[in-house]
Amino acid sequence: MAHYVDGFVVPVPLDKIDAYQAMAEAAGKIWLEHGALQFVETLADDVKPGKLTSFPQSVQMKEGETVVFSYIVYESREQRDSVNAKVMEDPRLKAMMENGTPPFDPQRMFFGGFKTIVELSRD
């Protein structure tokens, strides 16, 4: 079954990883509650700057930062649009965004929606 995926890449200061993780765990629960199938946040482990392109270059990574790659899986684009509309209106998410500065630079985050074309699993 083909799914729809929102993918994100964001720079996170090393001293804010714990705060980012806490925010992501709370946000992920909201997405799942509203219908997302899977919510995944990953922290760079083996990610090196490239000669032409790379995850660090894509977000203009600065000294003292790392890169987070995240994705959310949905049944379809239509379901993604419905879930995201509910999430954006959820008062818990609004409170997270309005209460202080997020533990990442949203201006250097990039994201997009993708149709899956191959899905393989051992399940």
The residue-averaged pLDDT of 69-86 equals 98
The residue-averaged pLDDT of 57-74 equals 96
Q: How far is CA 112 from CA 4, 81, 108, 121, in A?
A: 11, 12, 14, 23
- Out of 3.30.1780.10, 3.30.70.100, 3.50.50.60, 1.10.10.10, which CATH number does the structure's domain 4-115 have? 3.30.70.100
Beta pairing class for 4-13 and 38-43: unpaired
Helices (H), the chain: 17-33, 55-58, 77-89, 91-98
Residue 97 has pLDDT above 90, yes or no: no
pTM for this model (two decimals) = 0.92
The residue-averaged pLDDT of 92-105 equals 84
Residue 95 has pLDDT above 90, yes or no: no
User: What pLDDT does residue 102 have?
Assistant: 86
